[in-house]
Amino acid sequence: MSAVWPDIPYESWRDTCSALHLYTQIVGKYRLARTPWINHSWHATLYVNARGLTTSLVPDGPGGVEVTFDLLAHEVAAAASDGGRACFPLRPMSVASFHAQFRDLLRDVGGTPEFDGRPNERPDPVPFAEDRAERPYAADAVVRFFHALVAVDRVFKLFRTGFLGKVSPVHLFWGSFDLAVTRFPGPTAPLHPGGIPALSDEITREAYSHEVSSAGFWPGGGGVEFPAFYSYAYAAPAGFSDAHVEPAEAYFDKRLGEFVLPYDIVRRSRRPEAVLMAFLQSTYNAAADLGGWDRAALECPTGTPRKPRPLFVAVGDPEA
């Protein structure tokens, strides 16, 4: 059965989306503060689960603490490895109120409520504790967004299986509020210029230390005022912006430096998963072919349940 692909028009829940984005930054910064650094900031992200978004287990408190956005019950919950659990409701509130309640939540389960208190990747960021403007919470829109995340996560995870090289988890970056998956062919990349608002150039340059083909999903915002998929290459090879990609409705946004496919094109199609896979594969193909990547060594058939990868024998092996 096909996953649910709900209608999620950005304008109708813009303010709720902005609030949820900031709330995920607060929770993400807690994970960032307590988790040892992993390449490309993979240690800081959130993951889609059966009810919303989770930090996974954070090394803190009595052994570990997991924080979950339950987007069906509309609450934030913290569970500790010693059995402790606490939660508070997601509802109309200020960012400052969420920040204070979340810190209390961590204390209740034995966690450490100390983390950076400033938003990232937003122009003119207001410290969380000082952002007292009341924010709405449109529960129905949040549920639709969650179901969209589940549908996208499923396709991204399938796409991820077709790569033998280094590849990221499918994860949500709370800085830019996008669900993403990234393939790395191996070569180092030119030094990234940095310049992302409220984000250290040191972090950006570490994230883009190697060449990538990256794809993701935004609910809207940041200059794209509709839900959309994106795909880019860093460093983009010559001719990338002019490459032929699928479906026909996908286009290269010169301002963003990325291919863009509106979510509604996927949602309204007869085979949403196939349309999205075509976008992911064709934009990756453009990056790999134009970048001169060793595709034969990096790629494999899309994964299927209970089927191990074929054995690859190195050239020159006496058993070859």
Q: Tell me the per-residue pLDDT of 148-184, one tens digit each, with 9 for 90 and over.
A: 999 999 999 999 999 999 999 999 999 999 999 999 9
Percentage of residues of the chain with pLDDT beyond 70: 96
pTM of this prediction? Answer: 0.95
- 224 and 158, same structural domain? yes
d(CA 172, CA 110): 26
Specify the higher pLDDT residue, 4 or 77: 77
Same domain, 289 and 156: yes
Pairing of strands 65-70, 52-58: antiparallel
* Domain finish residue from 69, 103, 137: 137
Q: Are 289 and 256 in contact (CB under 8 A)?
A: no
Burial of 249 (0-12, 13-18, 19+ CB in 10 A): middle
Look over the chain and give the mean of its residue pLDDT values, rounded to a whole number: 95
Q: What's the total number of domains in the chain?
A: 2
pLDDT of residue 2: 54
Confidence of residue 122 (pLDDT cuts 50, 70, 90): confident
- Helix H or strand E segment including 89: strand 85-89
Question: Is residue 118, in this structure, part of any structural domain at all?
Answer: yes
Contact 178, 256 (CB under 8 A): no
Of 137, 152, 178, which residue is a domain's last? 137
14 in any annotated domain: yes
Is the domain of 101 the same as that of 214?
no
For residues 127 and 80, membership in a common domain is answered with yes
Residues 42 and 122 in one domain: yes
Last residue of a domain, one of 104, 137, 170: 137
Q: 76 is in which domain, residue-wise?
A: 10-137
